[in-house]
Amino acid sequence: MRRILIATSNAGKLRDFAGAAAPHGIEIEAIPGFASLPAVVEDGLTFEENARKKAEEYSRHAAGEIVVADDSGLEVDALNGAPGVHSARYAAPDLFDVQPHLADENTDDDANNARVLRELRNVPPERRTGRFVCVLAAARDGQTLATFRGTAEGVILDAPRGMGGFGYDPLFYFPQIQKTFAELSAEEKARYSHRGAAFRAFLEWCEQLS
C-alpha cells in the first residue's frame, strides 16, 4: 500500500483524506512528529500560495516522501469572498481586544461560524450562496511537484445543522443531496466535498506516477 504524508494535525482533514484514499489502496498518515515542527506562517494571498508554502516547507522534514498540504476555506458571495484564506481564523478580530495574542492564530469553529452568521443576519436565502475551495500541493524535498483544486457550491444556512464534520460544515448546505456537510457520511463527503474533488485529482496524478 502506498503511503502519502499529510501536513496537518487536523483530525477532520485526516479523516477526509483517508476516506477518499482508501478505495485507491493509499494509506494516509500525518507527518511523523508534525506537532513538534515549526509552524509555517500562512501569509499567502491565495489558497494555492499557502498550500505550496506548507507543502514545500514540511516536505523538507520527510526526505524522499511525497508530502501533501492543503489550504481550504469558505467563500461567501455576499461577503465578497470572505472568509476566504482567513477561514480558519475568521473570528480573530472578535477576540483581539481581549486576547491580542490571538490576532494571527486559528480560532475555534464555533467562533468562526458565529461571525459568518452575524454578518449574514439580514441577507436573504437567495443571496447566501458560496463555495468551499480546497487547493492541494504535493511536494518532495522542498519542491512543489503539482497542485490540485476542488470546489463545492452551496448555500449558507442561518443556523448550524448536523453533528459531523468540522469548520463551517454545519452551515454549508449542499442542494444536490439536500444535506449540510455536517450531515454527510465519510463516503458522501469524499464524493461531494471540495477536498474530495481536489484529492481525486491528486490520486489520478499519483496513478500516472506508478
CATH of the domain at 30: 3.90.950.10
pLDDT digits (tens, 9 = 90+) for 91-140: 987 655 544 444 557 889 999 999 999 999 999 999 999 999 999 999 99
Q: Tell me which residues of the chain have a pLDDT lower than 70.
A: 1, 94-104, 210
Count of domains for the chain: 1
pLDDT at position 20, please? 78
Concerning whether 71 is annotated as a catalytic residue, the answer is yes
The catalytically annotated residue of 70, 71, 109, 169 is: 71
Range of the domain at 60: 2-209
Query: Which value, to the nearest 10 degrees, does the dihedral of the CA atoms of residues 41, 59, 107, 116 take?
Result: 90
pLDDT at position 62, please? 94
pTM over 0.85: yes
CA torsion through residues 175, 196, 91, 160, sign: positive
Provide the greatest CA pair distance for the chain: 53
Distance (Å, rounded) from C-alpha 62 to C-alpha 176?
39
Asked if 103 and 92 count as a contact pair (C-beta separation under 8 A), the reply is: yes
What single letter denotes the amino acid at residue 5? L
Per-residue HEC secondary structure of 158-210 comes to: CCCCCCCCCCCHHHEEECCCCEEHHHCCHHHHHHHCHHHHHHHHHHHHHHHHC
Instruction: For the chain, give the number of residues.
Output: 210
Extract the runs of DSSP E, i.e. beta strands, from the chain: 2-6, 26-30, 67-76, 129-140, 143-156, 172-174, 179-180
pLDDT at position 208, please? 83
